[in-house]
Chains A and B, each alone.
Chain A
Amino acid sequence: DAGVIQSPRHEVTEMGQEVTLRCKPISGHNSLFWYRQTMMRGLELLIYFNNNVPIDDSGMPEDRFSAKMPNASFSTLKIQPSEPRDSAVYFCASSNRDINTGELFFGEGSRLTVL
């Protein structure tokens, strides 16, 4: 079975550029999460969706960050404009909230470097 698929795996960009990270959750899952991982702050939940609807975006750092989930099989996380402090690994994870035992399935991450 295909797991959570993220793209790109690596992105190097210059400050001020727009960055779009993509995620395809596991088929049949109805919850999707975006996490950011840095050495300084560890794993932070940015936003999560249930049935394509954003439920909690309190972790989104600022207005430069936005996330969408236009359908059950696709989500994007956009940073515009990007800044060096946005450099991190961004993980997408999905789950089936109807089971509600908390198991998240993670993608392999998108490593972002903003110069």
Chain B
Amino acid sequence: AQSVTQLGSHVSVSEGALVLLRCNYSSSVPPYLFWYVQYPNQGLQLLLKYTSAATLVKGINGFEAEFKKSETSFHLTKPSAHMSDAAEYFCAVSPVTGGGNKLTFGTGTQLKVEL
């Protein structure tokens, strides 16, 4: 079974600082990987996705993630945090075939941005 592990349930950064949210996956074959963001009282929305094309994936709001097969990682980064980035971030995994878009989510990382 596929799974993702997000290290750190809470991350706090200063405005303008680097954002790094960690995600490691477990899968017998390279899967599809995703980052979703959830703002308070809202549903999840897609930030970016890796679907076996370029290993460095750029998403919305200046976020990007790099797929590293050797490290089974898909960490999310943003060079400079903004107050509006405060939200909960979820890493998710889906099988490449036969999964029918069935996503398994990590436990989430709450990002706090301080002045």
A interface: dominant SS: strand
Residues of chain B contacted by A4 (CB below 8 angstroms): 43
One of A12-20, A60-68, A77-85, A101-109 contacting the partner: A101-109
Which residues of chain B from 28 to 79 have a CB within 8 Å of any chain A CB?
A: 32, 34, 41-46, 49, 51
A19→B40 CA distance, assembly (Å): 24
Question: In the assembled complex, which residues on chain A have CB atoms less than 8 Å from the CB atom of B104?
Answer: 45
Question: Is A57 positioned at the interface, with any CB of B under 8 Å from its CB?
Answer: no
The smallest C-beta distance from B102 to any residue of chain A, in angstroms, reads: 6
A side interface size, CB within 8 A: 23
A77: min CB distance to chain B, Å: 15
Known: A43-B90, A101-B51, A103-B49. A91 touches B102 (CB 8 A): no
Shortest C-beta distance, B52 to chain A (Å), equals: 10
Q: Provided the pairs A4-B43, A102-B49, A103-B46 are in contact, do residues A97 and B100 lie with their beta carbons within 8 angstroms? A: yes
Q: Is the CB of A115 closer than 8 A to any CB of chain B?
A: no
| Contact status B49-A109, CB under 8 Å | no
Contact for A95 among B42, B43, B101, CB less than 8 A: B101
In the complex the two chains form, what is the Cα distance from A93 to B105 in whole Å? 13
Q: Chain B contacts of A103 at CB under 8 A?
A: 34, 46, 49, 101
Which one, A48, A97, A106, A109, contacts B45 given CB within 8 A? A106
Task: Identify the interface centre among A43, A101, A102: most chain B CB within 10 Å of its CB.
Answer: A102
* B-chain residues with CB within 8 Å of residue A108 when the two chains form the complex: 41-43
CB distance from A64 to the nearest CB of B (A): 23
Q: Is the CB of A101 within 8 A of B108?
A: no
Check A31 against B100 for contact (C-beta < 8 Å). Answer: yes
**A31 to B102 Cα, complex, angstroms:** 9
Expressed in whole angstroms, the minimum distance between the Cβ of B16 and any Cβ of chain A is 30
Do A42 and B107 form a contact, CB below 8 Å, given A48-B102, A97-B100? yes
> 18 A–B contact pairs at CB < 8 A?
A31-B101, A33-B103, A42-B106, A43-B90, A45-B102, A45-B103, A45-B104, A48-B100, A48-B102, A56-B102, A100-B101, A101-B101, A102-B49, A102-B99, A102-B103, A104-B101, A106-B43, A107-B43
